Structure 1
Amino acid sequence: MTDRPLIFSAPMISALLAGRKTQTRRILKPQPYPFVTDGRPYWNARGCIGGRISISDAELLRLHRWVVGDRLYVREAWAPLDALTHNDPGTRAFAEKGFYRADQGTVDGEISRWRPSIHMPRWASRLTLLVADIRVQRLQDISQADSEAEGIYERGSVGDGSSHDRWTWQREGWRYATPREAFRELWGLINGPDAWAANPWVAAVSFSVIRSNIDATPLPSPAQGGK
């Protein structure tokens, strides 16, 4: 079991806080690549003992260091308490360790400078994810149900009622006919316009969300994957 940081965008932070997001997909690096020997397909992954594995082999997960029971502390855009530009106790009262850009309670004008998520220290994180399951799959193999678990949700029909586009990941903006279509668009916005078509191998990580700092979160029991 390992503690490690994981970055999320503001819409995905909102989905985590709302309880809508219980999965994330991360591109495997380096990507395994196929070759055939003895009439059977294998996937080469540099660093794997023997140099070849079946894609169903759990060794691929171990190679990429994803383990059930890992604890992930969420990094997001934030600001320390002293970044507040005024001394309003009402605004200050809701922040224990700092301010978080994904929240709606603090506008940009009240913060002197937001700090990017990659620079969030461990002590400032407010969300901890406990890894419950990991699967290796191609990106485009995601199901409708798993797309919802990625934070896609139903907003209802739009326009004059004739549209069937109702799935999205944000408060305002585009909506799509299915959760998978919405996830496809979200993936492209995060990873680039050709990222979906590339169809990379990903680690599909399922987790439970704990709304506390990782150092205030109890270690998982052996039944949960802890050691």
Structure 2
Amino acid sequence: MVKALLEGRKTVTRRLVRRKELGEELSSPARKENQDIPDRRFIECLCTAPYEAGDILWVRETWTLVPDGSYVYKASVECPGAWSGTWRPSIHMPKEAARIFLKVTDVHAERLQEITAEGALDEGTNVEFPEPKPSYISLAYTKMRLETAARRSFANLWDSTIKPADRPVCGWQADPWVWVIRFERCERSEMGARA
């Protein structure tokens, strides 16, 4: 996904709405009294989103510190696979080593399976585009194939990030509520807010 960010293909990410908070809100007396309000709106008003528009995030990635004191990143084209040093996992990356910063532009809630082909592509998934054919019917068929391929690609990507034991509740088939977090690249100088 770091390569997708660097290439400008990833402009959105999805994070689970916390199950405990979601369960409490959707089964609360307030929810029962306001059944005319759609679940999405109720969640957005009462559950805590992980980020807000305007927040600046920094991206952790697999990295190492080389003898001259500079950082090298595994996803970078500057560092081919021939590197023989020790890579450090992204979870241990200090903020000062970050090179990718993202400014949150929108956050909203939706069901995971509501993702469209465009949404799957914005997630940075690699999808083989079906070859379009010259007729109108063929173009419609191509669009239908792309929609299916893009959603399947994203579903596989999503499930690859979920522990097998958690998939019945958090996996693609479970169709959990997620926060859709849209962002744009920004400079280190804009660093502020939550990270």
TM interval, shorter chain, is 0.7 to 0.9
Matches within 5 A, 1:1-227: 12-31=1-20, 32-33=22-23, 34-35=26-27, 37-38=32-33, 40=35, 55-57=40-42, 58-60=44-46, 63-82=48-67, 97-156=70-129, 177-193=148-164, 194=167, 195-210=171-186, 212=187, 214=188, 216-217=189-190
Higher RCO (C-alpha 8 Å, min separation 6): 2
Query: Cα distance, 1:122 vs. partner?
Result: 0.4
AA at the equivalent of 1:183: F
Return the TM-score normalized by structure 1.
0.63
1-structure distance, mates of 2:183, 2:34: 37
Separation in structure 1 between the aligned mates of residue 64 and residue 118 of structure 2, nearest angstrom: 35
**Runs of 4+ displaced beyond 4 Å:** none
> Secondary structure in 1 aligned to 2:10?
coil
Report if aligned partners of 2:108, 2:180 keep a CA contact under 8 Å in 1. Answer: yes
* CA deviation after TM superposition for structure 1 residue 218, in Å: 6.3
Structure with the largest fraction of strand: 1
Q: Are the structure 2 counterparts of residues 97 and 181 from structure 1 closer, same or farther at C-alpha, using a change threshold of 3 Å?
A: same
Determine if contact 2:126/2:153 at 8 Å carries over to the other structure.
no
Residue ranges of structure 1 left out of the alignment (5+ in a row): 1-11, 44-53, 83-91, 159-163, 168-175, 221-227
RMSD (Å) for aligned C-alpha atoms: 3.1
Q: Are the structure 2 counterparts of residues 126 and 135 from structure 1 closer, same or farther at C-alpha, using a change threshold of 3 Å?
A: same
User: Greater share of helix residues, 1 or 2?
Assistant: 2
Does the aligned pair in 2 maintain the 1:29–1:64 contact within 8 Å?
no
